[in-house]
Structure 1
Amino acid sequence: MTQKTQPRAKKNAPARKRAKSGGPRQGRAKAADGAVWLYGRHAVAAALANPARKIKRVLATKNAADWLEQAGAEEAALARLEDMKPDAIDRLLPDGAVHQGLAALAEELPRARLKEVCAPAEAGRPVLVLDQITDPQNIGALFRSAAAFGAKAVIVQERRTPPLSGALAKAAAGAVEVVPCVQAVNIARALEALKDLGYHCAGLAGEADAYIADFPPAPLALVMGAEGAGLRQLVAATCDKLYRIPIAPGIESLNVSNAAAISLYEARRAHRPEK
């Protein structure tokens, strides 16, 4: 059924397209041409503002479209919005997707190359390396922390990382559009490449003797392992040194996204610009 175009509250606002609901559960999987769904207000707004992201469709409820306009979206982006009811957007997305009235069908971002995005090595601009972390919510939160603390890039393992879309992109709140993501076939080899660029590879491990306060005043690559499993043996051995976060007795560990945020802050602390 065709949705009726909802009138805009502001005068001279760009006209929005009418959109068909598409029937039950159409388009929920990855599109045949490789496009992916992004949803959630901040995730979609950041994608629309990213010139590297090619957008195919943008679906919005009236409230979400008004929010997008107030958030400063460009007129060209507003003009291509397709009016849809929330339940019509629901039918295009995975079960349980919290889209906040806004979704975009987009091409995946171009692949980033390690040497292009991580060079030159800069003190105070850490690189975040994720060793076999697979939970989309955790990875999204890690991207958000990486963006907040000025990380140059996030490096993930190619075969074990979910796509940078859907729930992951929503959890990142737009950070996947800001922080380059390098997909490495082999994490240990990626660490060797970072060393060649001048990075000190600091692995986070609960059993380490050194504390994160002992980070050297050098460009850092912070290497985080999966919760429970931690860093794999070869990855830990490839790090220049292992460090731990001091936590209270009786608490075994922190969530990996929390541990990364603390470590990223410490990596930048000594290099923050003067006020």
Structure 2
Amino acid sequence: MGRRPHPKNQMGQKSPFPRLYGRHAVFAALDNPERSFRKLYLTPLTSKTLVIPPGLQVQYGDDHDLGRLCPADAPHQGFVLEVEPLENVWLGDILKQANDGDNRPILVLDQVTDPHNVGAMMRSALAFNARAIVTQDRHSPAESGVLARSASGALEQLPWVRTVNLARALGEIGDAGFWRIALDGRAEATIESALGTNQPALVMGSEGDGLRNLTMENCDQAAKLPISGVESLNVSNAAAIALYACARRGL
């Protein structure tokens, strides 16, 4: 992969590259063979707790120095890693891996923009053995320390497809045999009945506006979660419950 010119990068200076922070996110990135590293920032104490990959540039500072590289009050724990963004995963590769009898879901996000929510959904998707997460490139968060920390290592393991046209991607997913379920609190069917024995693609809408009309038109069925007492759940909580429902089938 071609590498961009390396900017001068002093403590506290902004960088065009993602900076991951926190022990879990940094260690997961260091263990990912697909990840390219630019610079590792450590405190003298945390430098004793890991094996630094050969050739990786390291800069040392105190907790305050590392804090200047992260969002305000971010719990960096003495680890900050500047990285190259991961290569985008091609949807066609994910769909080719979908074999008969393997009903692992795909999670599709329609303009979910909060990096905390996207990271949390990545974590749930990995925990419940989803194939991949699919987002629209222009209306979803980029890689960042916030997203990586919320994902708790899942950013480095779960395939992430970023597509220009979500409606076209849903068409390809349907053509590959997936049953596209739009999660909508107004639906009559519940997630359990909609799942059946199909190979599902769970489609989740944005935090405020929900699913767009064009997205709904490219789904096979709408379904709701069987909740009561509240009108709706946070989108990341709803995704976790839907993914759990997928994993429970046949048990």
Give, in angstroms, the shift of residue 63 of structure 1. Answer: 4.3
Residues 85-120 of structure 1: CA deviation (Å, up to 9, x unaligned): 111112223333321111101100011100112323
* 2:113 match: 134
In 2, are the aligned partners of 1:118 and 1:127 still within 8 Å (CA)? no
2:43 corresponds to which letter in structure 1?
T
In 1, are the aligned partners of 2:40 and 2:56 still within 8 Å (CA)? no
**Is residue 2:61 matched to residue 1:76?**
no
Residues 5-36 of structure 1: CA deviation (Å, up to 9, x unaligned): xxxxxxxxxxxxxxxx935x31x231xxxx32
Give, in angstroms, the shift of residue 271 of structure 1. Answer: 4.7
* 1:256 match: 235
* 1:147 match: 126
Counterpart CA distance in 1 for 2:25 and 2:250 is 29
Q: What is the CA RMSD across the aligned residues, in angstroms?
A: 2.1
How many pairs are equivalent? 240
* 1:61 match: 43
Q: Percent identity?
A: 43
* 2:87 match: 110
**Is residue 2:185 matched to residue 1:192?**
no
Give, in angstroms, the shift of residue 81 of structure 1. Answer: 5.0
**Is residue 2:206 matched to residue 1:220?**
no
In 2, are the aligned partners of 1:121 and 1:199 still within 8 Å (CA)? no
1:113 corresponds to which letter in structure 2?
W
Counterpart CA distance in 2 for 1:77 and 1:149 is 34
Counterpart CA distance in 2 for 1:245 and 1:78 is 50
In 2, are the aligned partners of 1:48 and 1:77 still within 8 Å (CA)? no
**Is residue 2:71 matched to residue 1:94?**
yes
Which has the greater radius of gyration? 1
Counterpart CA distance in 2 for 1:207 and 1:157 is 24
Q: 1:90 to 1:106 in 2, by over 3 A?
A: same
**Is residue 2:27 matched to residue 1:45?**
yes
1:192 corresponds to which letter in structure 2?
G
**Is residue 2:29 matched to residue 1:29?**
no
Counterpart CA distance in 1 for 2:160 and 2:207 is 21
**Is residue 2:215 matched to residue 1:235?**
yes
Counterpart CA distance in 1 for 2:67 and 2:104 is 39
* TM-score w.r.t. length of structure 2: 0.88
Give, in angstroms, the shift of residue 57 of structure 1. Answer: 1.3
Which residue of 157, 161, 164 corresponds with 2:143?
Answer: 164
Structure 1 residues not aligned, in runs of 5+ = 1-20
In 2, are the aligned partners of 1:59 and 1:102 still within 8 Å (CA)? yes
Give, in angstroms, the shift of residue 236 of structure 1. Answer: 1.0
Residues 182-201 of structure 1: CA deviation (Å, up to 9, x unaligned): 11112111111001111111
Most deviating of 77-86 and 57-66: 77-86
Q: 1:271 to 1:55 in 2, by over 3 A?
A: farther
In 2, are the aligned partners of 1:145 and 1:261 still within 8 Å (CA)? yes
Q: For 1:171-190, what aligned pairs fall within 5 Å after superposition? A: 171-190=150-169
Counterpart CA distance in 1 for 2:26 and 2:185 is 37
Counterpart CA distance in 2 for 1:43 and 1:254 is 27
* 1:6 match: none
